[in-house]
Amino acid sequence: MDDETIRLITGCAKNVRFRAGDAIARQGEPADEFFLLREGHVALEMPAPQGGAVRLQTVDEGDVVGWSWLVPPYHWHFDLRAVSEVRAFSIDGRCLRRKCDSDPRFGYEMMKHFSVLMADRLEATRLQLLDLYRGPAAASNP
Amino acid sequence: MSATFHPTDPAALEAGAMLPEAFFVVSRNEETADTFTLALRPVKAGAQRPFEPGQFNMLYAFGTGESAISISGSPEETDLLIHTIRRVGIVTSALDRLAVGDTVGLRGPFGSAWPMDEARGRDLVFVAGGIGLAPLRPAILHALAHRGDYGRLVILAGARGAGDVIFLDQLHEWAKEPDVEVRLTVDRAGSEWPHHVGVVTTLIPRAKFDKANAVAMVCGPEIMMRFTAVELAKSGLPDQSVFVTLERNMKCAVGLCGHCQFGPEFICRDGPVFRYDRIRHWFSQREV
Ligand SMILES: Cc1cc2nc3c(=O)[nH]c(=O)nc-3n(C[C@H](O)[C@H](O)[C@H](O)COP(=O)(O)OP(=O)(O)OC[C@H]3O[C@@H](n4cnc5c(N)ncnc54)[C@H](O)[C@@H]3O)c2cc1C
């Protein structure tokens, strides 16, 4: 990212901390922010039909989590839970959307970065769906 | 290694590469619900078989049949031959019924090895999917036994769920060694699982190793290995520095029957360990 892009993002950022076990975001709630993790682990979870939560993915230091701030109707699609102590930048989605709308170059930069993130996540989900290590009844590899 | 049968060598064939020799089951260990480890000792005293990390034996369950099974123990300790086996069908179920004191037939060791010499002085990145950790384990144990010969060790292991991780205790032990990074992930888990969740490829960008001077050794289902190689390339490791092991159905293990042909290669004769750039083309094709 160039300096100007970073300057525009940090203008919408604040420092946040979570304790292990804290719910950071909940499915269906407004996604007014996304996070850049500086330290700690965060789990993406969904409520399981049989009760409890299914952990879909974990992310840690250096990872960006959340793109729902960019996609109408701007609601979280999963729960976010701190697995350990977490330090992160929280980036205000509304603030960033305003900047994207008024500065298309910046908006395009953000779209490029977030589309890579979405494509990576989609690919990982596809591999997860393939259930690579399942038993021989359904798979041909050991 | 001189005691290894290289299938293209006719003398080796005459020396008995086709004849199984009897081995006692000395111990067995349950790894997961469908995976177990057998330690084998030759019935005939002094019939130890040195091997190189990555090689496999043909294990013969008497009266049932033979399967190719990688050696999963330390190449430094050849008194016992260790094999980790997943019960998937007829032969592996027969091997699963073996108890301590039973005998099993063994031919081998066969095949190419992980590039431990070529990797000297470089960081080693091991990427394992499911039971793929078993064929990598001799290479990891070798690197730990010759710690000064290698740089940083990165071990990335993926499995289906929390109950499917093999060698879990040992992975925790390895993680305590200096300059060894172990990352574990499963495809699905409840909130009690303390490690990563997600496919094993997602661990690669997080791993710390010298991209300009590293060798990756990868073992798991073929799709997983293909995506791993792509991810390693994205992180700066070229395909020439990536090695994979292929497990196709095998019969003779000495390059005669053609059962394990993969493109122009016979896995038993030319593999199972291949440099990725040499077989990449065949990876993306169905039914080769
Ligand atoms: C070089 C090499 C090393 C191997 N190392 C190990 C190891 O360390 N541990 C281990 O558990 N297994 C290993 N395998 C796989 C093992 O050989 C097979 O799982 C075994 O032969 C299956 O025999 P079976 O009679 O139990 O199953 P079958 O009744 O023959 O088949 C059951 C199912 O497994 C599939 N299958 C059979 N053989 C293979 C194979 N080679 N690859 C992929 N799918 C197969 C079949 O398509 C079928 O769906 C290795 C294979 C090779 C070629």
Q: Which residue of A has its CA nearest to B225?
A: A132
- Say if A22 falls within a structural domain: yes
Quote the ipTM score: 0.83
Q: Residue B231: its pLDDT value, please?
A: 94
B61 CB within 6 A, ligand 1: no
Task: Give pLDDT, residue B241.
Answer: 97
Query: Are A133 and B193 in contact (CB < 8 Å)?
Result: no
Tokens representing A52 are 């409890």
When pLDDT is averaged across residues B182-199 and rounded to a whole number, the result is 91
Tokens standing for A136?
């021989």
For residue B119, the model assigns a pLDDT of 97
Domain annotation covers residue A139: no
Classify residue A63: in a domain, yes or no. yes
pLDDT in tens, B5-41: 554 455 555 455 778 899 999 999 999 999 999 999 9
Nearest to A133 among B201, B221, B222 (CB): B221
Domain layout of chain B by residue ranges: 10-110, 123-283
Minimum CA–CA partner of A126 in chain B: B199
Best of A22, A55, A122 to mutate (most B CBs within 10 Å, chain B) = A55
CATH at A121:
2.60.120.10
Q: Are strands B180-186 and B196-197 parallel, antiparallel or unpaired?
A: parallel
pLDDT in tens, B215-249: 999 999 988 999 999 999 999 999 999 999 987 66
The residue ranking higher by pLDDT, A1 or B119, is B119
In a domain, A89, yes or no: yes
Query: CA–CA separation, B74 vs B82, rounded Å?
Result: 8
CA of B259 to the centre of ligand 1 (A): 13
CA closest to A140 among chain B residues: B221
Contact with chain B for residue A129, Cβ under 8 A: no
Whether residue A139 is predicted with pLDDT greater than 50 in this model: the reply is: no
- Asked, for residue A141, whether it belongs to a domain, the answer is no
The total number of structural domains in chain A stands at 1
| Interface contacts A/B by beta carbons within 8 Å | 84
Hey, what CATH topology would domain B10-110 get?
Elongation Factor Tu (Ef-tu); domain 3 (2.40.30)
Q: For residues A142 and B95, what is the distance between their CA atoms, to the nearest angstrom?
A: 15
Joined together, the tokens standing for residue A71 give 């996609």
Structure tokens at B241: 């520095």
Ligand 1 atom, smallest distance to B85 CA: 11
Confirm whether A123 is domain-assigned: yes
Residues spanned by the domain of A121: 3-133
Average pLDDT of every residue of chain B = 89
* Residue-level pLDDT at A138: 38
Instruction: Tell me if residue B45 falls in helix, strand or coil.
Output: coil
CA atoms within 13 A on the CB side of B176: 4
CATH code for the structural domain at B123-283: 3.40.50.80
The Cα B46–Cα B129 span in angstroms is 35
The answer to whether the CB of B243 falls within 8 A of the CB of B216 is yes
pLDDT at B15: 54
pTM value is 0.88
Residue A104 has pLDDT above 60, yes or no: yes
Chain B nearest C-alpha distance from A17 (Å):
20
| Ligand 1 neighbourhood includes B67 CB (under 6 angstroms) | yes
